[in-house]
């Protein structure tokens, strides 16, 4: 059994020389937003959910990307509205957001 009920990893990798990468899409800003939003919605003592940074997840051309465990569902996102939907649907209620799934 996993320690966390759900655990989201955001690729925040920055590649050299302008190569395609998640950080070109503001990935670290979106990770920080998701972390704060989850804290607002879920008291620290309940739910045991976590948002973390990850190095390159090697899906750069599909980016920006994040993956949610334990389900192993990969998502892309365009902005805060998509992050809100992933949090509200998947992290909080276990419903996969098909339109953002990659």
Residue 33 lies in a domain: yes
Write out the two tokens for 16.
């050299």
- Partnered with residue 102 across adjacent β-strands are none
- The C-alpha atoms of residue 99 and residue 4 are separated, in whole angstroms, by 25
Domain count, the chain: 1
pTM of the model: 0.91
| pLDDT for position 46 | 58
Tokens read off for 68: 């949610």
Copy the structure tokens of residue 60. Answer: 């750069």
What CATH number did the domain enclosing 81 receive? 3.40.30.10
Number of H helices, E strands in the chain: 3, 4
Residue 32 reports pLDDT greater than 70: yes
pLDDT, tens only, 50-91: 999 999 999 988 889 999 999 999 999 999 999 999 999 999
Q: Which residue range is the domain that position 87 belongs to?
A: 6-100
- Do the domain assignments include residue 29? yes
């Amino acid at each position: 059994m996993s320690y966390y009920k759900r655990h989201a990893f955001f690729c925040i990798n920055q590649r050299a020389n302008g190569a395609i990468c998640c950080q070109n899409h503001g990935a670290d800003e979106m990770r920080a937003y998701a972390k704060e939003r989850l804290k607002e919605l879920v008291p620290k003592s309940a739910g045991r959910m976590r948002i973390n940074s990850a190095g390159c997840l090697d899906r750069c051309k599909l980016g920006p990307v994040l993956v949610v465990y334990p389900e192993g569902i990969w998502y892309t996102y365009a902005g805060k509205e998509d992050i809100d939907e992933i949090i509200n649907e998947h992290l909080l209620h276990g419903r996969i957001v098909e339109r953002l799934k990659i």
